[in-house]
Structure 1
């Protein structure tokens, strides 16, 4: 309890302090007596004045003491029990009141297996996202957005070609400096894509001044949201998220996020048991100075290659190029082990490098020049059949002989595989000239040039033909469309609108074509 000191006790203390200098004569004592008997007004009445010790009367009395403000209640700072509680403490967006929210709450709550899979994947990345949001002062609801975008699958690819757990379109990814080349796709990179997504969301919030509209723009495209707002303004209508005319996917987008938010905030109220996610980092970053094989990383870190790629999903090649990716992610307990073992490693670190194709050539020609198997070259670089390499392509090749150096930065960051259909094979046929034929009419009939036809047959372009004369004609077989068999990342199954027929393992049929412009 706070106590207020009054002037009387303070004067008494001064009196005690002044005892050593009190005069010894009775006159001095008498001189002090009137002061002791004096009184002063207090709130309309009188009370005895405080006793002032001799020698202390020169001190001016202090002003009347003002009551101190009531103390604020003491708040106990307690660490969150888990990451869910930490996320919940950071919720800052206004709740969306819409009937679709309850529909999606029921949808998620009725699919515990689907929730389990999403959380299992997301638990590896959530701590990093939460830390970034806190560092930027952004609402923690955004940590739940990858649940809506990709079910936290960094390998997810939509039919509109959006990729990664934040689902960046190729052009938007390049705008936010997410490299997409022959060796990596940063739209899938955990750190790079999170940085880009939060940059984009911050920009959208500055643009619209409303988180629900910013989220709609993230899904639908900022230009579409701006046009929808202008239409409502012209019609004298409100311009909030629920007031705009928008596609069904965007209409359900924020309600889905609100539903997940409500489940995180009060899982028991919805009959949901969220898997525990610890409030600690799952991975650590490790710097690499040289190109290094994924197989060697897995061996030194004592992890599987599959687990390594889960944390480093931007890479789909057997080697990590230090010039383009100077840091890799490893499970927290394995990162230090890897760093120590790598420091002690004395063997080569990479068995692969990059080669820039000097001219247009077939894969078979490139394989002969590299003294390598055509089938292995196609497999390592995912080159479809009946496609040739164009000049300037950058392909992955084994380190042998002269090709034994680390990949330079300009290739690690910008190398592309440029392909073109192979020229169809030449077919030679013999034809007979008809009555009245000329070289021009025969060439026209077979789709070749007169000069070529004359050269193939040792004739001058103006030579006359006699009926029945045999001519040699070279034609190219019609090329069949080459089937593209590039390896594709598995597409994340997005939940459809409530009531849609569920497919295997609790995932639902994906909604209609995405309209997102990102």
Structure 2
């Protein structure tokens, strides 16, 4: 099989440490940690298989103007292709990726640092979901890291109609890093681990055994087996590298005006089963959609029916919650009764059944439209009884 030649050059793409915008847009994902990183495009000798990883420069040897990489920044025609796409017809999408990375990047970065994992793995989440914790694919993968239900459950995530922790950006990140760590131990390569994340670890292992005689390789083995991978997986690492190049040096690609979202920050409070998030919002003085966004894993807009649960609230609002929650809970108990939505129900039918109006139901439950989920609990206003 003809092997793809891995190109290299002396150009650089990465965090310009004197560029505040670069650091901000990349979500503060460790740009300042120069030591132990790989800088500039990497050269690889396919004859010897020598990796420059063992020759990583010290912090003193690295110019502050150079970019920081802790995975090889390998050139490939598909990397160039995706850089072109992200900066032209997919520019709008990539702008949103960068904005959302400001929200979730610092959390992911901290978890990577705690485990001693490469910071560049953050771009796997970027290409998986566009940094969107509610993303859902045609293959039934969900969340920031696009777990299918079976794999998510294997790595400790609860997946039910009420609670889907694939959509929890924090817990799903822990699960994804566990999975990647396992595959790195198996393949001795983060890029092969990424390929396994996309197409399945057993397929990558089989291809590696057939091509090299061993499952274990290095960061350059990905391109050595490139032609054997499924089409989607052949683009996977090039997508990661393309996303990294742009995110690390946004001003080079015309993204310097992107304003990243504020970093995810929250506190947690315990509440009763079937507690509507709208009630929590009332207690902390926030809009319901803000509490919903902090808790995308609570699929019915309320806590699970069978147990108490922790709900995330905006940072700095815990005191307000503790002061206001007893009164809010009592008022809602006195002012409304509960109704569990059944199959075939509509807001109009429920309103007519309880002698109230659709608008009153919307207001009581802070609904923006007419869509309701089977199994959700609605509060019926006291004026209906």
CA contact (8 A) 1:87 1:141 kept: no
2: CA distance between counterparts of 1:363 and 1:86?
A: 47
Residues 265, 122 of structure 1: alpha-carbon distance in 2 compared, 3 angstrom cutoff: closer
Pick one of 169, 172, 186 that aligns with 2:148.
169
1: CA distance between counterparts of 2:308 and 2:82?
A: 39
1: CA distance between counterparts of 2:202 and 2:210?
A: 12
Aligned match of 2:282 = 299
SS of equivalent to 2:103: coil
The reply on whether 1:105 has 2:83 as its aligned counterpart is: yes
Larger radius of gyration: 1
Cα deviation digits, residues 209-234 of structure 1 (max 9, x gap): 11110100011110110011112135
1: CA distance between counterparts of 2:191 and 2:207?
A: 14
SS of equivalent to 2:266: strand
SS of equivalent to 2:73: coil
Aligned match of 1:231 = 210
**Deviation of 1:204 (Å):** 1.0
**Deviation of 1:119 (Å):** 2.7
**Deviation of 1:337 (Å):** 3.5
The reply on whether 1:284 has 2:266 as its aligned counterpart is: yes
Residues 159, 273 of structure 1: alpha-carbon distance in 2 compared, 3 angstrom cutoff: same
1: CA distance between counterparts of 2:198 and 2:175?
A: 15
Residues 256, 232 of structure 1: alpha-carbon distance in 2 compared, 3 angstrom cutoff: same
Aligned match of 1:242 = 223
SS of equivalent to 2:31: helix
1: CA distance between counterparts of 2:119 and 2:83?
A: 19
CA contact (8 A) 2:25 2:258 kept: no
1: CA distance between counterparts of 2:378 and 2:289?
A: 22
1: CA distance between counterparts of 2:235 and 2:323?
A: 49
2: CA distance between counterparts of 1:352 and 1:320?
A: 17
Residues 189, 305 of structure 1: alpha-carbon distance in 2 compared, 3 angstrom cutoff: same
Aligned match of 1:96 = 74
TM-score (ref. length: structure 2): 0.66
Aligned match of 1:264 = 247
Aligned match of 2:258 = 275
Equivalent positions of 1:7-406 (< 5 A) are 82=24, 84=26, 86-90=29-33, 91-110=69-88, 111-233=90-212, 240-244=221-225, 245-273=228-256, 275-277=258-260, 281-291=263-273, 292-321=275-304, 326-342=309-325, 345=328, 347=330, 381-382=373-374, 395=375
Cα deviation digits, residues 447-482 of structure 1 (max 9, x gap): xxxxxxxxxxxxxxxxxxxxxxxxxxxxxxxxxxxx
CA contact (8 A) 2:25 2:102 kept: no
TM-score (ref. length: structure 1): 0.50
CA contact (8 A) 2:269 2:318 kept: no
Cα deviation digits, residues 127-150 of structure 1 (max 9, x gap): 211221111121111222221001
Residues 272, 318 of structure 1: alpha-carbon distance in 2 compared, 3 angstrom cutoff: closer
Q: Which has the higher helix share?
A: 2
Residues 98, 305 of structure 1: alpha-carbon distance in 2 compared, 3 angstrom cutoff: same
CA contact (8 A) 1:183 1:316 kept: yes
CA contact (8 A) 2:29 2:106 kept: no
2: CA distance between counterparts of 1:93 and 1:114?
A: 24
CA contact (8 A) 1:212 1:241 kept: yes
SS of equivalent to 1:327: strand
Aligned match of 1:57 = none
1: CA distance between counterparts of 2:332 and 2:123?
A: 38
CA RMSD across the alignment: 3.5
Aligned match of 1:485 = none
1: CA distance between counterparts of 2:172 and 2:250?
A: 29
Aligned match of 1:491 = none
SS of equivalent to 1:286: strand
1: CA distance between counterparts of 2:234 and 2:180?
A: 18
CA contact (8 A) 2:158 2:164 kept: yes
Cα deviation digits, residues 352-402 of structure 1 (max 9, x gap): 8899x9xxxx989xxxxxxx88xx9xx8553xxxxxxxxxxxx556699xx
CA contact (8 A) 1:118 1:151 kept: yes
Where in structure 1 are there 5+ consecutive unaligned residues? 1-77, 365-371, 383-394, 401-518
Bigger mean CA offset, 167-176 vs 309-318: 309-318
Q: How many pairs are equivalent?
A: 293
